[in-house]
Structure 1
Amino acid sequence: MNNKEYEMIKIENVLERLSKSKFRASFHLKDKDLDYIDKKGLDIINNHTRDFIYKRLSPAVIPNDGKQTPTKNHPVFIAQHATATCCRKCLYKWHNISMNKELSNEEQCYIIKVIMTWIEREMKP
């Protein structure tokens, strides 16, 4: 099994576990979110995801950790709560990504893939 296959299995497993959490499973994209994604396209949404992760989750110390991700007004924010990629505490609990250190490029890419996988699933009827 190569690294890409392993990563996809890891993402599938974490999304399955998250779907069993009443809180995490309560998040879904609304029609306005889906319209926004259709209008912008997945490449732009991916860029937004990358930017949010870099600015809001990547630093070693986040003064407002646990409150840096809104629960509405952008599909990525909703996806972050659904996928437990909204704060460093959730990243540690659900994804075993250490707190109090800057996220590596590899960790950022993994988080982006988790979010985008969830968004793509939400887009399917």
Structure 2
Amino acid sequence: MEFVSAKQRWPSLKIRLARSSFRSRFRLDPKEFAYLADKGDEIIRRHGEDFIRNRLAPASPKNDGRQTPMRGHPVFTAQHATATCCRSCLAKWHGIPKGAPLTDAEINYIVEIIMAWIGEQTTDGQGTLIPQ
């Protein structure tokens, strides 16, 4: 399988996700907005990478399908919104097969997808933060 970058895939993925009644219902809550404003993009990106490496990267993650909380961190919300929450969703929505450890390129792709979603939730399209 040819690997497509997150930047290339995001526009079409965003349309597919919007058609899902489950995926499209996720929004950042005021506490998550405050957390993002306090921590900034780079810390959130590092948190995302840590979560992916620890919870999704193994070939057979512990509690797969239940390892990502529904709320409590902006990355968790973004994972559910972008179908990057478990290995089954990664396989179905992103074509990343189950049963093999995630590569660094796959981890980077997942983090970029998460950050793209967070970016769209927190800015007005012109880069200006949306006040909450």
Q: What's the TM-score, normalizing by structure 1?
A: 0.93
Alignment of 1:42-81 (within 5 A): 42-81=41-80
Q: What letter matches 2:45 in structure 1?
A: N
How far does residue 9 in structure 1 lie from its aligned partner after superposition? Answer: 2.4
Alignment of 1:1-125 (within 5 A): 7-124=6-123, 125=130
Q: Which residue of 1 aligns with 2:126?
A: none
Structure number with higher helix proportion: 1
2-structure distance, mates of 1:80, 1:7: 14
Q: What letter matches 1:59 in structure 2?
A: P
Q: Deviations over 1:64-88 (max 9, x none)?
A: 1100000011110000000000000
2-structure distance, mates of 1:7, 1:89: 18
2-structure distance, mates of 1:39, 1:19: 28
Give SS of 2:22's match. helix
How many residue pairs are counted as aligned between the two chains?
A: 122
2-structure distance, mates of 1:28, 1:10: 21
Q: Contact (CA 8 Å) 2:65, 2:85: kept in 1 or not?
A: yes
Between the two proteins, what is the percent identity of the paired residues? 45
Unmatched 5+ stretches in structure 1? none
How far does residue 16 in structure 1 lie from its aligned partner after superposition? Answer: 1.5
Runs of 4+ in 1 over 2 A off after TM superposition: none
Q: What's the TM-score, normalizing by structure 2?
A: 0.88
